[in-house]
Structure 1
């Protein structure tokens, strides 16, 4: 998971102002600015394109080319940024339970980060789509922790942890995981499954998300949803390719890939 990165270019990309340091304020602040500037998106698997995970490819795509990516891309890039600043970072892997029953058995297809800081462990995750964590959580069980959006908490039972958020008064689980350090080869295998397997949702659907200070934006094929703090979701049906492109560019701030392949694929999206 190691690789150098142009820190100045990254900070310009996310709109960071001022200095950064290996401290909690920078960790939390960078997580917030990252998810507002670099959207979660699935265009590459949707178009049948490879999803490389080496640091130069991630920097080129997410920093210089105006694109986003999904969890492995987002969190590997963020890990490289944090290490460049001086943080001690390790990667974990999780089984997603969002919109699944609590006892569902799902594959290990999600990445999150563990950060050691001043003798304490913290979790951060800039790659969980429309319910992404905005900030960092102390690795401490059964304590409600505020974020810029919903409260979050971690629940631990017999060495297994669950990350939960409180949505409209109900605690919902995002994913479950343990604290064993994950190796890069495991992310490569999971990334191949997520980006190519017929059972994965990413090659079959257009998925995008971006979280700002007061809004969570999400797109699933033709449905564009805006969730404002303390209000009911606003759902908008996008009629055709032109509407989808407009929302991707204006709301998700994406620089779309050139050529006609994207328009053809958008025209084939399921209802």
Structure 2
């Protein structure tokens, strides 16, 4: 398959989507919800010292053909390729993650999101943030509370940027600040290399996976900690004890296909270098 060819049928089969292919808001909603539920966020390749490849052929081979997940650059570049193949008008943006930080924290632009331009206006799409990725397109308008299959979300102004917030229980929490300036792919290649290579990157030392669950739940794995967070804010916690439990959770809960060698190498890396105690703020 040529590098720039997108296999729509394979993608739809992977995410269980059987709806319209017209480039409309209704189609976009269906695709975001289906993709988010089917393809988990995970950065196991980085833990195994592999810099993820971002060409469309490699992304389809990994996340569609090999039934793996991916992190932000992988997920949103794959999703962008699918949208463009359907005729959607898509621009690429970057954001500053402020989950666990002050709203005005001086944060780098190390996360990729998409702006989809529709007759109804511009919408933000992000299937690659992990435990709080919006499970519906969000209208890029400030001060508008927007429901999703999971949380209610909104944007508020922060200078020239829009801060995405999520209502968790009875409080609003900052997620990231959107920089409303289209980016070129070379900037994502730099961010991908930095995230996958810098010794202080949490992805290099920790086993991380996330996906949205049923009944507005969010499921997150950070090393041995498996959390199921409910819409009320209540969290069920479980600690994984051995390799068999990890395999069961990665396979059954997150739908990830790992070889025995990959799983053993990942657990060895966590045992040597993984964060002890509470998870990184972005994955709490």
State TM-score, norm by structure 1: 0.95
Measure the CA separation in 2 of the matches of 1:231 and 1:99: 16
1:218 pairs with 2:220: yes
Look up the SS of the partner of 1:202 in the other structure. Answer: helix
Q: CA RMSD in A?
A: 1.6
Point out where structure 1 has 5 or more consecutive residues left out of the alignment: none
Look up the SS of the partner of 2:269 in the other structure. Answer: helix
Measure the CA separation in 2 of the matches of 1:21 and 1:257: 38
- CA-to-partner distance for each residue in 1:128-179, whole Å, 9 max, x for gaps? 1111101011111111111111111111243211111111111111111221
Which residue matches 1:264? Answer: 268
Which residue matches 2:135? Answer: 134
| 8 A contact 2:169–2:233 mirrored in 1 | no
Which residue matches 1:227? Answer: 229
Measure the CA separation in 2 of the matches of 1:71 and 1:158: 25
Q: Which moved more, 1:99-108 or 1:192-201?
A: 99-108
Which residue matches 2:16? Answer: 15
| 8 A contact 1:35–1:212 mirrored in 2 | no
Measure the CA separation in 2 of the matches of 1:27 and 1:46: 32
Which residue matches 1:61? Answer: 62
- CA-to-partner distance for each residue in 1:79-126, whole Å, 9 max, x for gaps? 000111110001100110011222321211101000011151111100
Measure the CA separation in 2 of the matches of 1:84 and 1:257: 32
Distance 1:178 1:231, change over 3 A: closer
Q: Which runs of 4+ in 1 moved over 4 A?
A: none
Which residue matches 2:71? Answer: 70
| 8 A contact 2:163–2:176 mirrored in 1 | yes
Deviation at 1:258?
4.7
State TM-score, norm by structure 2: 0.91
Which residue matches 1:30? Answer: 31
Deviation at 1:26?
1.0
